[in-house]
Amino acid sequence: MYRKIIVPVDVGHAEKGEKILAKAQALLNDGGEIRLLSVVENLPSYIAIDIPQDLLEGGIEEARSKLNAMAAKLEPHLRPRVTMEIRVGSPAHEILAAATEQKADLIIIASHIPDFSNYLIGATADRVVRHARCSVLVDR
C-alpha cells in the first residue's frame, strides 16, 4: 500500500486515466493521497508564433475539466484525498518533477501500444520508468 500516488492523465485518453485512477484507489493507504496530474505540452516557439494565444489556455481548461470529471466519479470518502495539478512542459519531465516535489512513493502511468520507435512501452512511460526515484506501475 502507498501513501502518495501520482496519477498522470493524458486528457486525450481519459478512459485510460480512469482505469489507472481505479488502480490507485485500490493501492492507497488509509490516510494516503492521490495526485491527479495532467501535463499540457508547450509548443515550440517557431510554431507558437502562428497559433492563437489562447490555445494553451484552452488546453489547460480542458485538462482541468477532465480531471474534475474524473474526481467527481470517485467514491465520496475518497474525494478529499485527491488533489489535482496541471503543469505545462514536457510530460515525462513534469511527471518526474511532481513525483519528486510531492515525495511520491508510486507513479501509476498508462502506456499506449508502442510502435517501432518506442518498442517496449510508450515514450513518456519509458522515460518515467527509467528516471523515477520511486516505484512505477505501468498499465496497458
pLDDT tens figures, 1-21: 999 999 999 998 989 999 999
Whether 100 is covered by a domain: the verdict is yes
Whether 140 is covered by a domain: the verdict is no
pTM confidence score? 0.88
Whether 33 is covered by a domain: the verdict is yes
pLDDT tens figures, 83-121: 999 999 999 999 999 999 999 999 999 987 655 555 555
Domain that holds residue 128: 2-135
Whether 77 is covered by a domain: the verdict is yes
Question: What average pLDDT does the segment 22-32 reach?
Answer: 94
Domain of 116: which CATH number? Answer: 3.40.50.620
- The rounded distance, in Å, linking the Cα atoms of 2 and 106 is 7
Nearest to 26 by CA among 54, 2, 45, 49: 2
Mean pLDDT over all residues of the chain?
89
Question: What average pLDDT does the segment 41-46 reach?
Answer: 74
72-97 b/e with 16+ CB inside 10 Å = b? eebeeeeeebbebbbbeeebbebbbe
Q: Quick one: pLDDT band at residue 140, thresholds 50, 70, 90?
A: confident
Whether 118 is covered by a domain: the verdict is yes
Nearest to 84 by CA among 19, 38, 28: 38
Give residue 114's pLDDT: 58
Tally of domains within the chain: 1
Give residue 135's pLDDT: 98
